[in-house]
Amino acid sequence: MSNDSKYILAIDLGTNGPKVALVSTHGDLVGYEFEENRVILLPGGGAEQDPDEWWNTIAAASRRLLVRNLAPVDDVVGVCCTSQWSGTVPVDRAGKHLMNAIIWMDARGAPYVKALTGGPITVEGYAVTKLLTWLRLTGGIPAHSGKDPIAHILYIRHEHPEVYRATYKFMEPKDYLNLRLTGQFAASYDSITLHWVTDNRDLSRVGYDERLLKLATLERDQLPDLKQAVDVLGPLTPEAAAKLGLPAGLPVVMGTPDVQSAAIGSGAVRDYEGHLYVGTSSWLTCHVPFKKTDITHNIASIPSAIPGRYLIGDEQETAGACLKFLRDNILYHEDELLAEAHVPDVYKIFDRIVAGTPAGSDRVLFTPWLYGERTPVEDHALRGGLHNISLQTTRAHIIRAVFEGVAYNARWLLDAVEGFIKRPFEALNFIGGGANSDVWCQIFADVLNRPIRQVKDPIEANARGAGFLGAVALGYLEFDDIPARIQIARTYEPDPANRALYDELFTEFLNVYKANRKIYERLNRAR
């Protein structure tokens, strides 16, 4: 096919809201629009969003983008979605959602998944026979944090039995969007992974396994049929087309969750090429040619969006969210002490303050576990904190400590991932909103002791990845073409002058976890 003047409408549903972008079949992102969505936090670790709000904000962003006339609508050749992962939307036969979406932050299913996976003889809390079956077939295991879809479904079964009985299919967020676009119930090999009921040993024919379904106590009939991420699901329905401002009948590609689309959008698509993502959450990963699991660090190689390839699955719960917490809950919280909240460009102000504050933040340590943690330890009871504050501590020290604390957490994960692949990364492509910060790029380079390659337009990596995936699916690109189409804005080399200091503080960061984890467990076990 010719690559001239053709575009993919890429829909990227993040936790904070959807970004809708036009991505050329060359991989150039020519423009996007964003809408904000609410997160509903509930007692007991609940986190939900309204699927109708997802759909309406996607439609608003799409119409606003298309009327900018960045490209003729007739030159849009397909639609491809990516989205937040590890969520659950129960829908009826008509495709109508039966309750709010339970999203990746929700831990209310933890007691049920722990009971499901336990037994008389356990390893890390898992019955040995169950553990071996899950690891052999899927490469992973249901997380005891309760944040996987299997736990969400168990929670719905126990706490909302009327919803469970009425559910025709349980859909991942990305697959729910595809349902709205095409009317088709389907999941991709990669999106279904965290249900832990598919045999992933042969990536050419991933399928549900009766043994796993029995272990999980899930009903096959309530789960969608499976396709590859590069398959065309179906045509865009007239109703969805009118809502988005597009012609009806455009091919809708299956698409992929955000972790996989970010890997593609980072340009690190070859085996062992790493990328670091810092958005609301964070991960550090790469593609690998093998299936493997590290239960100690909650890491596994799982199906990638690229056919026949695995991607290392890991996630740190809060990263960029720590800066949002600092801005909204501490420094600019709207109360009687502040007449006007949310100053413009506060993150740029943070950058300037951090750049002017010495490395190490006068030995103040911040732990970024504001909503528990998933990897390299799985513990939903962990909480954040500032440690080693004195009368000499200033606001600048605290702000820089937040930046550095997220980087220490990434180094903790780096050690686990490099142990998993048995080799160090030569460099890391850095994407997500955090990569817009030059000073944070340098902090990550110094703390991780690895070159950091700042991808140009890093916040658009997921949408760009969805665009690339759509272009490959429709025959405009090959995956091997992608690295050459990624621009690196700047490479940050580790500063040797900060090596000893950051090594010391990272050791103490780990000691804070070891010394306090039992306290967090006692304080938060029932929350």
Cβ atoms of 361 and 395 closer than 8 Å: no
3-state SS class at 476:
coil
Gap between the Cα atoms of 252 and 474, Å rounded: 10
Cβ atoms of 288 and 301 closer than 8 Å: yes
The pTM for the full model equals 0.86
Residues 6+ apart with CB under 8 A from 162: none
At residue 344 the predicted structure's pLDDT band, cuts being 50, 70 and 90, is low
Dihedrals phi, psi of 406, to nearest 5 degrees:
-65, -40
Cβ atoms of 47 and 380 closer than 8 Å: no
Dihedrals phi, psi of 139, to nearest 5 degrees:
90, -10
- pLDDT over 50 (residue 373): yes
Which helix (DSSP H) or strand (DSSP E) does residue 504 occupy?
helix 499-524
Cβ atoms of 403 and 354 closer than 8 Å: yes
Domains of the chain: which residue ranges? 1-39+51-84+228-521
So what's the pLDDT on residue 341?
A: 46
So what's the pLDDT on residue 296?
A: 84
Neighbours of 400 (CB within 10 A): 26
Burial class (CB in 10 A: 0-12, 13-18, 19+), 183: middle
Pair type for strands 7-13 and 299-303: unpaired
So what's the pLDDT on residue 336?
A: 47
User: Tokens 């993502």 correspond to what residue?
Assistant: 277
Gap between the Cα atoms of 167 and 163, Å rounded: 6
So what's the pLDDT on residue 337?
A: 44
Give residue-wise pLDDT tens across range 218-230: 999 999 999 999 9
At residue 346 the predicted structure's pLDDT band, cuts being 50, 70 and 90, is confident
Give the fold, CATH level 3, of 1-39+51-84+228-521.
Nucleotidyltransferase; domain 5 (3.30.420)
At residue 340 the predicted structure's pLDDT band, cuts being 50, 70 and 90, is very low
Cβ atoms of 235 and 182 closer than 8 Å: yes
Gap between the Cα atoms of 47 and 71, Å rounded: 38
CA triple 103-269-256, angle to 5 deg:
30
